[in-house]
Amino acid sequence: MSKKRIAILFSGQGSNLERLLEQLHKHTFNGVELEVVLTLTNKPKAGGIEKSRKYGIEPLVIDHTKFTSREAFDGAVVEAILNAKIDLVVLAGFMRILSPVFTKNIKAINLHPSLLPLFKGANAIKESYEANTLNAGVSVHW
């Protein structure tokens, strides 16, 4: 049976993180054993930290405010992912715009709370609601 090591990156309360842990952590799908071995946040007080601990995973906190540039922060995140020998990265409420330092080195699935490209950025849900759109949804992209 093959095994896949998963990392989940988050910034906030961790509602997506918790759902992913419920569905993926230590589960087997089609003969593939899945294990979330890394949870990572850029916010030292993120609510998702406790949700991660509930599953026995001590989250790695890499505070983006401690870095002089976006690229330096992304480099630290890339290093952590590579050191953990991750097979799949999921961005689940990770509220950072990632630089090429990340995107050229890490393949990731991003969960975005709007239909792209209609509403981008951190306030996508609010902007979608305020725009009175007839269609709303989420985007999942690789």
Tens digits of per-residue pLDDT, 93-128? 898 989 999 999 999 998 866 566 666 666 666 777
Cα-Cα end-to-end distance for the chain: 25
| Residue 97 confidence (pLDDT) | 86
Domain-embedded: residue 33: yes
Domain-embedded: residue 10: yes
Domain-embedded: residue 75: yes
At residue 56, what are phi and psi to the nearest 5 degrees? 80, 20
Domain-embedded: residue 23: yes
Q: Could you give the 3-state DSSP secondary structure of residue 26?
A: coil
Residue from 33, 35, 83 nearest 62 by CA: 83
Give the percent of the chain with pLDDT over 70.
Answer: 85
Q: Could you give the 3-state DSSP secondary structure of residue 70?
A: helix
pLDDT, the chain, mean: 89
Query: What's 63's domain CATH number?
Result: 3.40.50.170
Which residues constitute the domain of residue 77? Answer: 2-106
Residue from 28, 32, 38, 31 nearest 90 by CA: 38
Domain-embedded: residue 76: yes
pTM flag (> 0.85): yes
Domain-embedded: residue 140: no
Q: What residues of the chain score a pLDDT lower than 50?
A: none
Which helix H or strand E contains 72, and what residues bound it?
Answer: helix 70-83
Domain-embedded: residue 97: yes
Active site (catalytic) residues? 112
| Residue 114 confidence (pLDDT) | 57
Q: How many domains does the chain have?
A: 1
